[in-house]
Amino acid sequence: MNSFKLLLLVFSFWFSCSKPKEETTPQPSRPAQKVETVAQRSSQNNKSLPIILRRVESFTAEIAQYESQLGRQSLEPLFQKGESIASALESVIDIFKEDYYLFAKNNMRGYLINRDKAVYVLPDIKFFKTLAAKRGEKADAAFFELLSQTRPDNLWPVYVEPSEEMTGCIRYGPGTMVELYEKWMRFKSDYPTVYVKQRDDNLRSIGLDLATSVCACGSVDEVLKEFRLFIAKFPNSAITPQLKKRINDVLQKTDPMRFNCTTG
């Protein structure tokens, strides 16, 4: 009986060892699930935006970076970049579809964008004046302070009285134009290498309004007073000969200037 049990055990052992093992088919590894970050989604969405709107987003990010910097740094390179974008944007903003227009209007920090009665993309002078005071250099603060004096509402020079038709008459007489011209000339002397384009544009604009405008808000006497103030202050200016001629033409009533004019 014992021999029989022993034989049975040996046979069971042999049978288990000789049974072929089942092969396990290797399972393909599951690829790692791609986790998309907010930044990646934003980047992918941005690819569908026109290049100019991607530049708008980039500019706004640079504004935030400038605000968070330690110490002071020139604001001019960033402002000039904004002006470049604004110029390009202004040329297409009136043909943008509505969502692109609203994207630009809501996302370009430091700029005022409009395409209703008038099309413009203009710097928000108060915004940049505050930024210059907090983080900019002395030249930045001086520039935006003077710019705010020149265009306190961002759109119109302080000496222009605008009308509903988006035109305006010139307020001659108080000496405002002469005073601003003098301040821009002083800025040019104090900071000859910064904000050159904007400085020269303002000097040119004031000079042209003096020499060529034909719509005066006030009287003949007020116009002649402003002309004479300029000639006395800047006898060697390039526009002084033009103003001398205008004085003569106004007195002779041959100048096209309209007095007590309400529209440009």
Tell me: the pLDDT tens digits for 100-131? Answer: 999 999 999 999 999 988 899 999 999 999 99
pTM of the model: 0.80
Assess if residue 55 is contained within a domain: yes
Q: Are residues 160 and 263 in the same domain?
A: yes
Assess if residue 150 is contained within a domain: no
Q: Are residues 169 and 225 in the same domain?
A: yes
Q: Are residues 165 and 127 in the same domain?
A: no
Q: Are residues 58 and 113 in the same domain?
A: yes
Q: Are residues 161 and 71 in the same domain?
A: no
Assess if residue 23 is contained within a domain: no
Assess if residue 93 is contained within a domain: yes
Please give the residue range of the domain that contains residue 264.
156-264
Tens of pLDDT, residue by residue over 221-244, are 999 999 999 999 999 999 999 999
% residues pLDDT > 90 (the chain) = 76
pLDDT value at 166 more than 80: no
Q: Are residues 123 and 74 in the same domain?
A: yes
Q: Are residues 164 and 110 in the same domain?
A: no
Q: What is the pLDDT of residue 157?
A: 97
Domain boundary among 135, 164, 196: 135
Assess if residue 28 is contained within a domain: no
Q: Are residues 129 and 162 in the same domain?
A: no
Give me the DSSP letters along the chain.
-HHHHHHHHHHHHHHHHHSPPPPPPPPPPPPPPPPPPHHHHHHHHHTTS-HHHHHHHHHHHHHHHHHT-SS---SHHHHHHHHHHHHHHHTTGGGS-HHHHHHHHHH-TTEEEEESSSEEEEE-HHHHHHHHHHHS-HHHHHHHHHHHHH-TTSSS-TTEEE-TTS-EEE--SSSHHHHHHHHHHHHHHHSTTSSHHHHHHHHHHHHHHHHH--BBSS-HHHHHHHHHHHHHH-TTSTTHHHHHHHHHHHHTT-S-PBSS----
Task: Scan for tokens 């609203």, then name that residue.
Answer: 102
Q: What is the pLDDT of residue 167?
A: 82
Q: Are residues 114 and 164 in the same domain?
A: no
Q: Are residues 130 and 182 in the same domain?
A: no
Taking residues 32-47, what's their average pLDDT?
41
